Structure 1
Amino acid sequence: MKILVTGYTGQLGYDVVKEGQFHGYDIYGVGSADLDITNKQRVTEFVEKLNPDAIVHSAAYTAVDQAEDDQDTCWNINVNGTRYLAEAAKSVGAKFMYISTDYVFDGEENWPLSETDSTSPVGYYGLTKLEGEKVVQSLLNQMFIVRISWVFGINGNNFVKVMLRLAETRSELNVVGDQFGSPTYTFDLARLLIEMIESEKYGIYHVSNEGFCSWAEFAREIFKVAGKAVKVHAINTEEYPTRAVRPKNSRLSKQKLVDSGFKPLPSWQEALEHYINELILEVNHD
């Protein structure tokens, strides 16, 4: 199988390429320097020349706060770029996987959200990701839409790395305690995405590591696993204002995943332990 992966320089794209290589697939990872997905002609030519069997589209404009003020760029990447790739996938008959987000929901509900719950993004980033979903659904039948949340991986920046960096100079931290979700380890996620792309079980899926927590609980577990003596004070969202509104409930139900015959990811605590060990190995290796 020949697979094209966009967003290779990001956390998820990097791990999907590694996982694909591990399985012996002919896998091509591209970053924005290799392929400008907002250039329709370039995308069409690139995909037609490569002629992949599948495209995993993980590239996105993900600066959530910045998106509120840089709406044109955000739309161009998340909506137009997705459209051009989906159209190109259609022209070569490739399966298409679009990586979406918990931000398509408003987070007002107090239950784990299923794929059929109504979407209502509260920020511009979430709006563009939802529009991307609609584009993919309107153009393709052989498609997967995978909504993920709270991602952390070896390549790039994330909440875990930020907390560990702060632990070097701080003994106490205020962390939001009234937003709930599931951390998602890109190493675990990549394995499932490759398994999905091998199948023909198309549709919308929610995928994250098992279990739920608040950001404050996540931070406490990070310090515990890393052996850092940092006291975490849980604060309300209102005490930590950001440019973009975040959904308070990002808990995703993975029941559809199980019903479709896919194995759930490990617990977020197991994933975190694996990840921090991976970070330690990387530091020692350097």
Structure 2
Amino acid sequence: MRVLVTGAKGQVGCSLVERLSGKVELLAIDRDELDITNENAVFEAVKAFEPDIIINAAAHTAVDKAEEEVELSYAINRDGPLYLAQAAESIGAALLHISTDYVFSGDKNGIYIETDAVDPKCVYGKSKLLGEQAVLANCSRTIILRTAWVFGEDGNNFVKTILRLAQQRDELGIVADQFGGPTYAGDIATALITIAKTIVAEDSDFDTTKYGIYHYSGLPHTSWCGFAQTIIAKAVEQKVLNKAPIINGIKTDDYPTPAKRPANSKLNTQKITETFGIQASDWQYALNQLSDY
């Protein structure tokens, strides 16, 4: 299996490289090696390597900065995926593309399924939605993996922020009225690899109706406040922290941000389980090695 990974130095990208190195013919590149917003560069890289699978883990994920860096967000989150999709189609490769809960408004009562209406409320969400539409329209062998609240050992994320703040303060105010499923980057990588292996192994026998959009995130669902409380509890248990700060739940309105965030980011993961046998991310288990973060 020949696999091209973009965004190789991001949270999911690092996890993919760790799990794929030495097991497949791998070309792992980050923006230093390939600017996915450069159409010619994308086609040249894909044509030269001829991957069976392209996994696009590259994205402009700075949600608040995206409100100012609008052109950059659309270039990376819409145009880059478009070029990768066109390049993949030109050589018959499959494209696995990571997307986000931000394509939804967050106003639904209940858990979002793949066919629910999309209605992003911020630049990041809007640019990621256009990226989804671009890859679906331009590559016949596309899997989109929508995920949420990603954390892992690499890069910046909520877990690392909470651990840092907990060492500096005796009390923390954390948003308690936004809900979703924290998702371990390593589990996302494993899910993508499982899908890639299935596509390559089944080859011409792969059921083409399996292409399309899937939700993949963690269970049980919680709030940011609940997530923080679990992180702190596990950190004290593992002696990563000497003492636990007081965690106070606050409202979204008490912590205004440039970008509007979904109040409800709960994703239903039943489809990916039924289709590929992939279970939801066990984020609580993934927190058992906090010393690695």
The TM-score with structure 1 as length reference comes to 0.94
CA contact (8 A) 1:209 1:271 kept: no
CA contact (8 A) 1:17 1:28 kept: no
Q: Which residue of the partner structure matches residue 2 of structure 1?
A: 2
Change (3 A) 1:266 1:150: closer
Is 1:16 the counterpart of 2:31 in the alignment?
no
Q: Please give the residue correspondences for 1:242-281 in structure 2 after superposition, counting only pairs within 5 Å.
A: 242-274=257-289, 276-279=290-293
Alpha-carbon distance, 1:110 to partner:
1.9
Is 1:207 the counterpart of 2:222 in the alignment?
no
Alpha-carbon distance, 1:21 to partner:
2.1
Alpha-carbon distance, 1:263 to partner:
2.7
Is 1:116 the counterpart of 2:115 in the alignment?
yes
Q: Please give the residue correspondences for 1:81-96 in structure 2 after superposition, counting only pairs within 5 Å.
A: 81-96=80-95
Alpha-carbon distance, 1:140 to partner:
1.6
**Aligned-pair identity (%):** 44
Q: Which residue of the partner structure matches residue 282 of structure 1?
A: none
Change (3 A) 1:108 1:80: same
| Residue identity matched to 1:13 | G
Is 1:230 the counterpart of 2:249 in the alignment?
no
Alpha-carbon distance, 1:277 to partner:
4.4
Query: For residues 88 and 64 of structure 1, what CA distance do their matches in structure 2 show?
Result: 27
| Residue identity matched to 1:278 | D
CA contact (8 A) 1:61 1:77 kept: yes
Q: Which residue of the partner structure matches residue 195 of structure 1?
A: 194
Query: For residues 77 and 10 of structure 2, what CA distance do their matches in structure 1 show?
Result: 15
Match of 2:254 among 239, 242, 259: 239
Query: For residues 291 and 112 of structure 2, what CA distance do their matches in structure 1 show?
Result: 31
CA contact (8 A) 2:216 2:281 kept: no
Query: For residues 214 and 165 of structure 1, what CA distance do their matches in structure 2 show?
Result: 19
Alpha-carbon distance, 1:266 to partner:
4.4
Q: Which residue of the partner structure matches residue 161 of structure 2?
A: 162
Query: For residues 197 and 142 of structure 2, what CA distance do their matches in structure 1 show?
Result: 12
SS of the counterpart of 2:117? coil
Uncovered stretches (5+) of structure 2, i.e. residues with no partner: 200-209, 237-242
Is 1:221 the counterpart of 2:230 in the alignment?
yes
Change (3 A) 1:160 1:143: same
Alpha-carbon distance, 1:273 to partner:
1.9
Query: For residues 84 and 261 of structure 1, what CA distance do their matches in structure 2 show?
Result: 27
Task: Please list the CA deviations of residues 79-104 of structure 1 after superposition, one character each: whole Å capped at 9, or x if unmatched.
Answer: 11111111111111111011000000
Q: Which residue of the partner structure matches residue 98 of structure 1?
A: 97
Work out the number of aligned pairs and report it. Answer: 277
Is 1:125 the counterpart of 2:124 in the alignment?
yes
CA contact (8 A) 1:177 1:216 kept: yes
Query: For residues 31 and 267 of structure 1, what CA distance do their matches in structure 2 show?
Result: 28
Mean alpha-carbon deviation: is it higher for 235-244 or for 69-78? 69-78
Alpha-carbon distance, 1:271 to partner:
1.9
| Residue identity matched to 1:215 | W
CA contact (8 A) 2:89 2:140 kept: no
The TM-score with structure 2 as length reference comes to 0.92
Query: For residues 108 and 287 of structure 2, what CA distance do their matches in structure 1 show?
Result: 27
